Amino acid sequence: MDIPRYWRLKDQRYRLQGKKCLDCGNLSFPPRLVCPKCKSRNYEKYFFIGKGTVYSHTTIYQAPDRFDHIAPYSVGLIDLEEGVRITAQFTDVPAEELKIGMKVEMVIRQIYEDGPKGPILYGYKFRPVISV
Amino acid sequence: MRKVAIIGLGQTPVREHWESNLRDLGVTALRDAMDDAGVDTVDGVCVGNMLSGALSEQEHLGSLIVDYAGLDGVEGMKIEAACGSGAAAIRMAVKAVGSGLMDTVGVVGVEKLTEYSGKFSTAALATAADADYETTMGLSFVGINALLMRRYLYEYKYDKNDFSIFPINAHKNSIHNPNAMFRYEISEAQYAKSKHIAEPINLLDSSPIADGAAAVIVCAQENISQFKGKPISILACEVGTDTLALDNREDPLWLKGVERSVKKAYYLADVKPKDIDFFEVHDAFSIITALSLEASGFAERGEAIKFADKIGIGIKGGLPLTTGGGLKGRGHPVGATGVYQVVEAAKQLRGEVAKEVQIENNNIAMAQNIGGSGATVITTILKRIV
Ligand SMILES: [Zn+2]
């Protein structure tokens, strides 16, 4: 059970909230307390739009326990338009159609259920761009 | 800094050791290394381990191993750096002896990964990655390496089957290592047909999870005459780090942790890549072998496979790799692996491996242990003492 973690990460999981360094302008996702570029601790919240391109992708056949029942599923590295790369699952796309360079956008989907009686946990996944 | 040496070696076979627990594996390897060195006690024990808490419900391994090894009262601590835990423990011993704080330190890497089902071990191994932003997205540890391999294939236009050169070589060597888990050859055809774990990584790209323990005794080089073991000099044992999460790296195909680690190691040892006679590379996955050869300065970027093909990575090649079978053929008991690599390299330098895999006229060896997707890298350079 990791409900506190999901509560703590809700702004990241639902709204892609990272940070912008007030001294050098560097954008971070996940949020960091120290700017990796200039080491400043002056930050403001920054919300990424959630559009990007596929940097790499894989389809997982042998999954960790918690994800075993949905295998095979696809996970990738996505380069967001703002210049930050994140890790996320893909959705609404067959594995064989995934390609490096493909344009994708963020949607909210179920990530996993925390046991049969636990809560259903939601967060970002990415799908091929369909909206304009 | 005093010069340090390895004066004793010990290892258990890498297997599914259902009959042995962590302490028995660890104590066996440690006591074998102490017997080899000819010592009945040490000043400290460093235990390299990653998953004893998750998979054996046992932490506090330092005192546990010290207790059961009959070393009551001696200082012992567990060192954890994911799959790099073993060499990280050696690093701690080198610091302790090199600084003069201790004279003789036992290092034991120990791991049991077969207590539970594969799914559970897969989840435990994924704790090497970022729990909040990689693992909870469903990414497995194999998956992280698959992301690297896919991008590598895309950027450098290799055929996936070109990677078979590394596991085929590893299996060719593990046949002659009695402690290896897989003692049979594999073919290109088998590689091409092997089932996917996380596409494009297949079963034969992946080192198998296993149980095992390996140990070395580290002493001050000025004291080697006090021991009966055959000494091997540690010229360098240096650590480089990188971001924990793969996605936080600007250039994931360049393992900066490897580059940082080898730069320091080459400098301290005063050697260049061309001086290395053989290399115990961290072949957890074929792609990691390629990326390590490049960031370690052996091959140009994107050229690792061509380099391996040209120079020869077999026992008689220009740069023999994984002479004891590597992680692929020997098996990968994660927190023990870094110590197994150094034991193998030291045995090669001592001239104590099977004659089919004994490299002639070897002098300088390098072993590299990688934690996570390259967030902790320890490069050890060893030299024969003549
Ligand atoms: Zn900054």
For residue range B255-282, what is the model confidence (pLDDT) as tens digits? 999 999 999 999 999 999 999 999 999 9
pLDDT over 80 at A34, yes or no: yes
Active-site annotation holds for B46: no
Residues B338, B339, B341, B345: is their CA dihedral positive or negative? positive
When CB atoms are compared, the residue of B142, B148, B151 closest to A62 is B142
Statement to judge: residues A55 and A107 lie in one domain:
yes
- B354: contact with A, CB 8 A cutoff: no
- How many Å apart are CA B171 and CA B152, to the nearest integer? 24
Taking only the tens place, the pLDDT of each residue in B163-219 is: 999 999 999 999 999 999 999 999 999 999 999 999 999 999 999 999 999 999 999
In this predicted structure, what is the pLDDT of residue A112? 85
When CB atoms are compared, the residue of B126, B133, B200 closest to A30 is B133
pLDDT over 80 at A1, yes or no: no
Mean pLDDT of A26-48: 97
- Min Cα separation B122/chain A (Å): 5
Catalytic residue chosen out of the listed positions B17, B171, B176, B332: B332
- Min Cα separation A75/chain B (Å): 7
Pairing relation of β-strands B196-199 and A51-60? antiparallel
Taking only the tens place, the pLDDT of each residue in B22-77 is: 999 999 999 999 999 999 999 999 999 999 999 999 999 999 999 999 999 999 99
Residues of A in contact with B148 (CB under 8 A): 56
Statement to judge: residues A91 and A38 lie in one domain:
no
The CATH code of the domain at B4-117+209-233 is: 3.40.47.10
φ, ψ dihedrals at B69, nearest 5°: -85, 0
Percent residues over pLDDT 90 in chain B: 97
Residue of B nearest to A89 (CA): B137
Helix or strand (DSSP H, E) at A86: strand A85-89
In this predicted structure, what is the pLDDT of residue B259? 98
- Min Cα separation B295/chain A (Å): 20
In this predicted structure, what is the pLDDT of residue A117? 82
Percent residues over pLDDT 70 in chain A: 98
Tokens 């990584």 belong to B201
The CATH code of the domain at B127-205+236-384 is: 3.40.47.10
Q: Is residue B194 packed enough to be buried (19+ CB in 10 Å), middle (13-18) or exposed (0-12)?
A: middle
- How many Å apart are CA A29 and CA A32, to the nearest integer? 8
Mean pLDDT of B299-328: 98
- Tell if the CB–CB gap between A60 and B142 is shorter than 8 Å: yes
- Min Cα separation A132/chain B (Å): 26
The complex scores an ipTM of 0.97
In this predicted structure, what is the pLDDT of residue A22? 98
Res. B132 pLDDT band, cuts 50 70 90:
very high
Mean pLDDT of A14-31: 98
* Residues with Cβ within 8 Å of residue A67, at least 6 apart in sequence: A60, A73, A112, B138
CB contacts < 8 A, A to B, total 106
Statement to judge: residues A41 and A68 lie in one domain:
no
Statement to judge: residues A36 and A100 lie in one domain:
no
CB B46 within 8 A of CB B65: no
Gyration radius (Cα) of chain B, Å: 19
Tokens 């740069």 belong to B319
Statement to judge: residues A55 and A119 lie in one domain:
yes
Statement to judge: residues A60 and A31 lie in one domain:
no
Statement to judge: residues A62 and A72 lie in one domain:
yes
CB B182 within 8 A of CB B327: no
In this predicted structure, what is the pLDDT of residue B234? 98
Q: Name the nearest CA neighbour of B290 among B380, B162, B128, B125.
A: B162
Alpha helices in chain B (DSSP H): 22-37, 52-56, 61-68, 85-98, 118-125, 141-156, 165-174, 188-193, 256-269, 286-295, 304-311, 326-330, 334-350
In this predicted structure, what is the pLDDT of residue A119? 84
Statement to judge: residues A54 and A104 lie in one domain:
yes
Interface-testing mutation among A17, A58, A96, with chain B (most B C-beta atoms within 10 A)? A58
pLDDT over 60 at B156, yes or no: yes
Residues of A in contact with B247 (CB under 8 A): 77, 85-87
In this predicted structure, what is the pLDDT of residue A132? 59
Residue of B nearest to A32 (CA): B248
pLDDT over 80 at A2, yes or no: no
- Tell if the CB–CB gap between B138 and A68 is shorter than 8 Å: no
- Mean pLDDT score of chain B, rounded to an integer? 97
Statement to judge: residues A77 and A109 lie in one domain:
yes
Res. A49 pLDDT band, cuts 50 70 90:
very high
- How many Å apart are CA A122 and CA B13, to the nearest integer? 44
Name every residue in A having a CB less than 8 A away from some CB of B. Answer: 5, 9, 12, 30, 36, 55-68, 70, 73, 75-77, 85-89, 95, 100, 111-112, 123
Residues of B in contact with A69 (CB under 8 A): none
How many domains is chain A built from?
A: 2
Percent residues over pLDDT 90 in chain A: 80
What global pTM score does this model have? 0.98
What residue segments make up the domains of chain B, in order of their start?
4-117+209-233, 127-205+236-384
Catalytic residue chosen out of the listed positions B46, B83, B219, B237: B83
In this predicted structure, what is the pLDDT of residue A115? 77
- B157: contact with A, CB 8 A cutoff: no
Statement to judge: residues A83 and A127 lie in one domain:
yes
- How many Å apart are CA B145 and CA A89, to the nearest integer? 16
Statement to judge: residues A72 and A62 lie in one domain:
yes
In this predicted structure, what is the pLDDT of residue B386? 76
Statement to judge: residues A35 and A76 lie in one domain:
no
Residue A86: domain span: 49-132
Tokens 């990575």 belong to B313
Tell which wins on pLDDT, B19 or A112.
B19
pLDDT over 80 at A109, yes or no: yes
CA B155 from centre of chain? 28
In this predicted structure, what is the pLDDT of residue A130? 79
